[in-house]
Amino acid sequence: MATAEISPLAPMVRVPGANPATNNYPRLSFAATLCKTHLMTNHPKLAALAVVIRADQVLLVKRRNEPDAGRWGFPGGHVDLGETAMEAAVRELYEETGVTGQPRRYLTNVDVIERDDEGAVRFHFLLAAVLCEYHVGEPVARDDVSDARWWPVADVLSGKIECSQHVDDIVEKQYSA
């Protein structure tokens, strides 16, 4: 990942254990690992999640990196400058799984805010969950995931698999619609 190029005049969020001179940051949750440079701003950053449900199955990826390593979640990641969240969702879907899809609509937004022991904000992401229609491809783990596969919706809703926070809420919201 590129070194952050932030104006010295920009307000900074204190990140305990961080060393910006070496681009070294402490272990952070999935949302923070989306882009370390996002830690250096004083406003929320946008990320997109690709929610793909086919029949009674949902496409999930297993995160390779801590602290969500081993947990299942939706393919997703940061939204690039000039890119819509819907475009980012299908781009991340392909980058992480090799599956192609078409964005259909926004399902919900999820705030992910992590604070340090003193209550200072370490990071704040707004995750835009985008319903995507499956087109083609079999899921294969790529990029920063260790596994990618279709899971029965019932397994997600019953807690049979260990998922990242809010995965079951988003699946339930779409599946019950």
Q: What are the structure tokens assigned to 14, written together?
A: 């204190």
Task: Give yes or no for residue 19 having a pLDDT over 60.
Answer: no
Of 98-107, 121-130, 146-155, give the lowest mean pLDDT range. Answer: 121-130
Whose CA is closest to 60, among 69, 47, 46, 71? 71
What value does the mean pLDDT of the chain take? 82
| pTM of the complete model | 0.76
* Mean pLDDT within 18-29: 45
> Is the model's pLDDT at 16 over the cut of 50?
no
Q: How far apart are CA 171 and CA 122, in angstroms?
A: 28
Domain 20-175 has CATH 3.90.79.10: yes
- Reduced to 3 states (helix: H, G, I; strand: E, B; else coil), residue 17 is coil
Report which of 58, 44, 46 is spatially closest to residue 93, judged by C-alpha positions: 58
Residue 6, pLDDT score: 30
> pLDDT tens for residues 70-120?
999 999 999 999 999 999 999 999 999 999 999 999 999 999 888 899 999
DSSP string, 67-134: TSTT-EE-SEEEPPTT--HHHHHHHHHHHHHS-EEEEEEEEEEEEEEEE-TTS-EEEEEEEEEEEEEE
Q: Write down the pLDDT at residue 38.
A: 42
Single-letter code of the amino acid located at 95: E
